[in-house]
Amino acid sequence: MSKLSLLILITLLLSGCSLTGSSKLWNNDKTQVNEPENIKIVLTNEASPVEEFNSNIEIDISNGNFNKDPNNNQNNAGELNYEGILNKVGKYSFSKFNDFEYLDVQPIFYNQNLIFFDDKGTIIFYDESQKTLWKKNFYTKSEKKLKPRLNFVNKDNLIIVTDDVAKYYLINVDSGELIWEKNNIVPFNSGLKIRNDIFYAVDYKNILRAITIKDGLEQWNLKTEESLTKSNTKISIAIDESNIYFNNSIGDITAVNLNTGQLVWQLPTQNNSVSKNAFQLSNSQLVLDEKTIFLSNNKNEFYSIDTTTGLINWKNQINSILTPTVIGKFIITVSDNGYLYIIEKKTGNILRINDLYKNIKIKKRNDIKPTGFFISIGKIYLTNDDGKLIIANVNTGEILDIVKVASDKILKPLVNDNNLFLIRNGSIIRFN
């Protein structure tokens, strides 16, 4: 037999043994675990991810419904009501972090007050006039040297805190009093979500834990595959009426029943080699909208996933670790190289791409990365790691203004009570 004939025979045999598009994985309890085989790949007009596309087309993004709770359990900021006066009205100061360029942290708001922390894990409670009402630190001398990084979530007058030194605790927001304190087996690596009297967090072993707010006791946990290396991205959690969803450090998306803690489905999005190199994978937050999960990553993948079945609706080639925003029938995101994407939610078709860095010199733009954005009254506000805030018309893509806020990185922008908060190393600047 000739080499060519043998090669053709091997190819035919391999093709006959391949999985079909409807193939699925199952766990021991016969719960569905899907592989990403049945995927609609969207390549609208073969638009390049590094070029503008339909840049002059005007699209009316606003649906007239302003979101009053951008920090909701679905992680969808939607359209916010910020008028964009951009007058600096205050600054909340704290000691600088020595690793600020790698941080993914944010304050929480309590009425008109703000809660944040400093480089030694000291929690600071500021009032509206930036006055410090109290400071509390619940770490030993040796723990302070580890420079704990905190995650907050609040319910009523209580604050739940988890950290990356394997502690979690509850404090009274009015007094700063410690109510209880517990230790986990490993540090936490996720944001926090609350449903009724339970809060949820994921640790570095990729274990989702459901813990009671009242006494800090664990109700149940669900373990997913552990990576061999430490991930450099914070795990995202989202909640709907019946399930909790999270993406672990190796790219698996998992749905879990809120009441029982039982696995509903699991969808791997990456190949097995990622478990050995989890630090190379960075994801956006999961965003829930109309029984669909939207997320993207730094592997040039943007997913739409059905929350009921765990099957992929469509997959597009967009390289972004920023949290997408869903407004009506549109998805808005910004790629890691500064391109604004307007996407049709149902089909995944890219409707328009605009270069938000087009006024920046080529030599400089290669060193700039976006850190976050929000949409408000027809505008997009994009923060960047060079300390600048770019403001553009989201309906047309036209650049309206570039504001220098700091000389170094500013984190994802936050809006509370029609005020804009921008976090730089050493302070949070407030604009009205």
pLDDT for the residue 84: 85
| C-alpha dist (Å) from residue 38 to 22, 150, 160, 302 | 6, 39, 40, 15
Q: Find residue 375's DSSP bridge partners.
A: 79, 380
Q: Which DSSP string corresponds to 224-293?
A: -PPPSS--SS-B-EEE-SSEEEEE-TTSEEEEEETTT--EEEEEE-S-GGGGG-GGG--B---EE-SSEE
Q: CA–CA separation, 147 vs 103, rounded Å?
A: 12
Sole residue written with tokens 């049945």: 38
Q: CA–CA separation, 45 vs 53, rounded Å?
A: 9
**Of the candidates 307, 318, 429, 396, the residue with the CA atom closest to the CA atom of residue 55:** 396
Instruction: List the chain pLDDT tens, one digit each, 432 residues.
Output: 444 444 444 344 344 333 333 333 334 444 555 544 444 555 444 444 468 999 999 999 987 789 888 889 999 999 999 988 899 999 999 999 999 988 999 999 998 999 999 999 999 999 999 999 999 999 999 999 999 999 999 999 999 999 999 999 999 999 999 999 999 999 999 999 999 999 999 999 999 999 999 999 999 999 999 877 666 689 999 999 999 999 998 999 999 999 999 999 999 998 765 555 556 889 999 999 999 999 999 999 999 999 999 999 999 999 999 999 999 999 999 999 999 999 999 999 999 999 999 999 888 888 999 999 999 999 999 999 999 999 999 999 999 999 999 999 999 999 998 999 999 999 999 999
Do residues 281 and 249 lie in contact, with contact meaning Cβ atoms separated by under 8 Å?
Answer: yes
Q: CA–CA separation, 290 vs 306, rounded Å?
A: 9
Other beta carbons within 10 angstroms of residue 58's beta carbon come to 11
Q: CA–CA separation, 343 vs 393, rounded Å?
A: 16
Strand order in the sheet with 339-344: 325-327, 330-334, 339-344, 350-355
Sole residue written with tokens 């307007």: 342
